[in-house]
Chains A and B, each alone.
Chain A
Amino acid sequence: MRRSFAFAGTTVMALSLLVGCSSAGDSDSGSGRTTLKVAALEGGYGKDMYNKVIEAYESSHPEVDVQLQISKSIEDEITPNMKAGKYPDVVVLGQGREAGLTETLIKDKALEDLTPVLDAKVPGGKQTVGEKLTDGIVGNLNTNPYGTDKTYLMPMYYSPTGLFYNKGLFKEKGWDVPATWDEMFELGDKAKKEGIALFTYPTAGYLDSYFYALLADVGGEQFYQDVMTYKQGVWKTANAKKVLDITTKLLGYAEKSTVGYANEQDFTKNQQSILDNKALFMPNGTWITGEMADAPRSDGFEWGLTPLPSVNEGGTRYLTTSVESVWVPSAAKNKDEAQKFIAFLYSDEAAKIFATSNAIQPVKGLSDSLTGESTEFYSLYDDTSVSALVGGFASTNPVEGVDIKSTLFDTANSIISGDTTEAKWQAALDEASEKLRQAGN
Chain B
Amino acid sequence: MTTLSTPPRQPAARPVKKTGATFRRTRPGAPDRTRKRGDTRFVLACLLPALVLFAVFMVYPTVNVFRMSLYTWSGFSPDMKFVGLDNFRHLLDDRQFVRAFQNTVALLVVVTVATMGMALFLAAIMTRQKLRGGNLLRFVLYIPNILSVVVIAAIFSAVYDQNNGLLNGSLRAVSLDTWQQVWLGDQKLVLYSVGMAMVWQSLGYYMVLYMSSMASIPEELYEASSLDGASAVRQFFSLTLPLIWQNLRTSLTFFVMSAVNLSFVLVRAMTGGGPDGSSEVLLSYMYKQAYTNSSYGYGMAIGVVIFAFSFLVSLLVSRATRREPLQF
Interface positions of A (Cβ within 8 A of B)? 3, 6-7, 10-11, 13-14, 17-18, 21, 82-83, 98-100, 103-105, 107-110, 203-204, 257, 259-266, 269, 398-403, 406, 410-414, 417, 419-420
Contact = CB atoms under 8 A, between A and B. Distances in A.
A263 B94 contact: no
B interface bracket (residues with beta carbon within 8 Å of A) = 35 or more
A265 B293 contact: no
For A14, A21, A83, A419, the residue with the greatest tally of chain B CB atoms inside 10 Å of its CB is A14
Interface stretch (B110-118, B155-163, B170-178): B155-163
Nearest to A82: B76
B203 to A, nearest CB: 22
A203 B276 CA distance: 11
Interface in B234-276: 269-272, 274-276
A262 to B, nearest CB: 6
Contacts of B294: 100, 103-104, 107-108, 398
Given A257-B163, A398-B74, A417 B187 contact: yes
5 contacts: A18-B56, A104-B75, A263-B272, A265-B270, A398-B294
A78 B272 CA distance: 24
B323 interface: no
A401 B90 contact: yes
Contacts of B41: 3, 7
Given A14-B52, A257-B185, 9 more contacts: A10-B48, A11-B48, A100-B293, A204-B275, A263-B274, A264-B270, A400-B293, A400-B298, A401-B293
Interface string B26-64: 000000000000100110011011001100100000000
A143 B80 CA distance: 26
B76 A104 contact: yes
Contacts of B162: 257, 260-261
A423 B277 CA distance: 19
B292 interface: yes
Contact of B293 (A264, A398, A410): A398
Nearest to B49: A14
B96 interface: yes
Counting from the closest, the 7 A-B pairs by CB-CB distance are A260-B185, A413-B275, A401-B94, A108-B77, A260-B182, A259-B185, A400-B298
B187 A414 contact: yes
A113 B76 CA distance: 18
B324 interface: no
Contacts of B42: 3, 6-7
B304 to A, nearest CB: 14
B201 interface: no
A258 B186 CA distance: 11
Given A14-B52, A262-B275, A265-B270, A110 B292 contact: no
A266 B161 contact: yes
A403 B294 CA distance: 10
Given A18-B52, A104-B294, A110-B77, A400 B289 contact: yes
B87 interface: yes
Contacts of B72: 398, 400
B70 to A, nearest CB: 13
Interface of B: 38, 41-42, 45-46, 48-49, 52-53, 56, 72, 74-77, 87, 90-91, 93-94, 96-97, 153-154, 157, 161-163, 182-187, 269-272, 274-278, 288-289, 291-295, 298
Nearest to A409: B276
Contacts of A7: 41-42, 45
Contact of A104 (B74, B182, B185, B271): B74
Contacts of A109: 77
> Which secondary structure dominates chain A's binding surface?
helix
A141 to B, nearest CB: 17
B298 to A, nearest CB: 4
A414 B91 CA distance: 23
Contacts of A419: 187, 276, 278
B97 A401 contact: yes
Contact of B271 (A17, A99, A263, A401): A263
A168 to B, nearest CB: 23
B201 to A, nearest CB: 16
A135 B157 CA distance: 45
Contacts of A417: 185-187, 275
Given A104-B75, A104-B76, A110-B76, A264 B182 contact: no
B269 A265 contact: yes
Nearest to B41: A7
Contact of A10 (B49, B76, B91, B289): B49
A83 B49 contact: no
B274 A410 contact: yes
A393 to B, nearest CB: 12
Contact of B269 (A11, A260, A264, A414): A264
A17 B49 contact: yes
B187 A265 contact: no
B87 A400 contact: yes
For B96, B269, B272, the residue with the greatest tally of chain A CB atoms inside 10 Å of its CB is B272
Contacts of B277: 406, 410
Contact of B53 (A11, A17, A203, A257): A17
A398 B87 CA distance: 12
B298 A83 contact: no
B33 to A, nearest CB: 15
B271 to A, nearest CB: 5
